Structure 1
Amino acid sequence: MRWYVVRRVLWAVVATYLILSITWGLLAITPNPAAEQMQFQAAASGGSAEAAEEAFEARRGLDRSPWVRYREYMINMVTLNWGWSESRSQPVTDAIVAALPYTAIYSVPTTILSILLGLSIGLYSATNQYTKTDYAATFFAFFGYAIPNFWFGIILLLIFGVQLGWFPVVFDSDIPFFSLGMVRQLVLPVVVLVTGTIAGVMRYSRAEALEYVEAEFVKTAKSKGADGYRILTRHILRPAAVPLMTILVGDILGIFLAASYLVEVVFGIPGLGQLSYNAIIAQDTSLVLGTTLIFTFVSVVGNLVQDVAYTVLDPRIDYGDR
């Protein structure tokens, strides 16, 4: 198992290196909007567009050999020197560090609630198949899948923010993180994300648990007088947890990747999603690259945690250490 974990960590490093290299290659062959704008301004003022392009490349170091630029790029990535954000007039890393806590402050409770509620409802539905509670849980799952997050968020803002005034409509970033005011601001975003995420966790946990509800070892445990809680946690949840890990990691990554864009833009949360969205609108290449790399690193680390979790949850897996 130890060598399996070492191999997975090394592969995560290799995957990160390949992603960074591919990103550099795409940036190297992609025209820079700032250079095109400078050429246009030079031509419009009667100057030389070629001279303006050469001056731009010399100032940005683009006149050097590809190998030198690639080596400098990789060193900057490792040392977190990710460039300057033109739209925010600050280093990219400073902008990301300032936005990251706002993404984490709603992602962490959303992840915890989605896993706890999704697993609980799914397991209860599996052990009470074809009952009214099972049908209610299934309806809830389809409800969560059917409603788009951005539309649901707007509706909640109109009802509970504008009409009833229970929650603030505009996110106030000056409110302290650990305060009741911040909790009030995060209730609606967390509800929107949990509603969409819990559906997938519930459905898959129910489907996986149903494979073991009528299994022989479960019947044997029941015949020996094991209580329902022990049967549910030791004999049903544990074998079902291995395939569920893939779903849980995927849902968690979905919160950081797709959902963060939608929720942060709708609710005005100044997190990574809104930071990346505004950078795309402003064509701030350095900031777009930095935020994209953060999401990429989260995906690589998430898959690494998933692979390592397999070694803990299922000792029957052959890790190829021999």
Structure 2
Amino acid sequence: MYRRMKSVWFWAAIITIMAMLAGCSSGNGDMSKSNSGSAANESAMSEQMSNTAATAADSGESEKADAESPADLKGGTDQAAGGGFASETASGTEGFKQKIIYTAALSMEVDDLAAAATSLRNVIHQNGGYILQFQDTRHDGEIGASYTIKVPAAGFMSFIDRVEQIDHREFERNIGGKDVSEEYVDLESRLKARLLVEERLLSMMDKAVKADDLLKFSQQLSEVQEDIERIKGRIRYLDNNVSFSTVELRMYQTDQSIKQAGIDNPHLGGRMSDALAGSTKVVLDGLKLLLVILAGALPVAVLLAVIAVPAVWLLRRKRRVIVGQQKLPEEEQQPPTL
């Protein structure tokens, strides 16, 4: 009996051990399967991210090539940024696209305005610039012209030097610059971000099935595209102003014969203005003369008042006394009344 029970316990222990080993092996198999599945998912995700990074790098390189090609056609980014005015500054910032907008305000007095204007147009043509705005002015004793000129930034200072060589009496200039590099970099970053959003919205629209989703994506896409066009317009504006500097020039001629002719033959408005000014001057002069007379007579008036007031008072008092004395005899001559 004891041997039988011992054998039963022995086989039960063996069966229990075999069941535990089978459970452990199945758990390890499931764990290996899950690990292999997660590894496959991670490899697929890494492959997708690498493809996205490669696509972004390719698009960045293409945008960089597109951005650099106009600068090469205009004679290089260093010349466009420096503008011939701060070439040493531009050379000291290699590897960084420095964007500076240069402006100048010039004033010139000349002896012959027509000849000076002809020389100015020749200088503008030689420097590859153009006249953006022109205004002719004429005042009493002065004729002049105001120009807004755009010249290539590479020849900015050479243009000013050539303008200064035109025959003149007086020449004044004020030159300044505005660094827009930070704004330009910010615009480029914003543009890349909005382009990525546009690409995602387009892909979502391709996968969308519901009409509501399509409508929502189309509205978002229109807003993003408006932002993209606005940013591109600002970038084009900055590029244009960096590549072409602005020069404000005032050229004038002082002519005394014109001033004398205006004095000899005034127009109707001038004559009316002169008449009004003359009559106003006469009235003011009369008031001033009256005030002067009153101011001069004031001490005499005070002296006369000091003398006249006591004299009048004494005279009136004496008159009252005389009148009183005359009334007393008349009252004495009258008989008493009963």
Same fold (TM over 0.5): no
Q: Shorter-chain TM-score: which interval?
A: under 0.3
TM-score by length of structure 2 reads: 0.27
TM-score by length of structure 1 reads: 0.28
User: Between Structure 1 and Structure 2, whose CA radius of gyration is higher?
Assistant: 2
